[in-house]
Amino acid sequence: MYEEVRLDPVTSALLVVDMQNDFVDPRGRLFVPSAPDTVPRVKLLIERARSSKVPVLYTQDWHLPDDPEFKIWGEHAVAETWGSGIIADLAPGPRDLVVRKQTIDPFYGTPLDHYLRLLKVDTVVVAGTVANICVLQAVSGASVRGYNVVYPMDAVSALNEFDSELAVRQAHFVHRALITRAEGVIFSQ
């Protein structure tokens, strides 16, 4: 694990994965109990990114009624509902980009890679929920497309400790992500 990771703000981006009401709010349909604890650290990353003019991109799980994924996870993040909304504490700003996705992979069928390439990004900081599902898919998708990945483990929530440790292990071992904590992510040239 790296205590401090200094990133060039010109070539870095922050990807906030699925910090939506259905996952982060206790009233949500797929509430992740550790997600509320990560909000202050995700917020810190967003504030640091914005103050350094680092692009902030959000993924937003977004499903039509009767989505086939509901057979696996049950109904959640239905388009245009409260549950699909990004939580108010982490609301996207006017310069942030929101990428709506219909699967656990934020690169599949979305413009995410296109946006990152237009922004000339080579390093992606990935935070959010759920560690071994959508967050790990974001890490994997970024890695196989040639991006460097930074994984602030205290800004990523999981359903349990095993899943959290598994995601950290896979992010580091398989995808060579730099593992750190939110406080250790510094955007400076």
Assigned token pair, 56: 């902030």
Q: 5-187 maps to which CATH number? A: 3.40.50.850
Helix or strand run (H / E) with residue 93: none
Give the pLDDT of residue 6: 97
Summarised one tens digit per residue, pLDDT across range 96-134 is 999 999 999 999 999 999 999 999 999 999 999 999 999
Name the residue type at position 30: L
| Chain position carrying tokens 């967003």 | 46
Q: How many other CB atoms are there within 10 angstroms of residue 40's CB atom?
A: 12
Instruction: Give domain limits for the chain.
Output: 5-187
Residue 105 contacts residue 137 (beta carbons within 8 Å): yes
Summarised one tens digit per residue, pLDDT across range 9-41 is 999 999 999 999 999 999 999 999 999 999 999
Name the residue type at position 28: G
CA quadruple 50, 80, 124, 40: dihedral sign: positive
Summarised one tens digit per residue, pLDDT across range 141-181 is 999 999 999 999 999 999 999 999 999 999 999 999 999 99
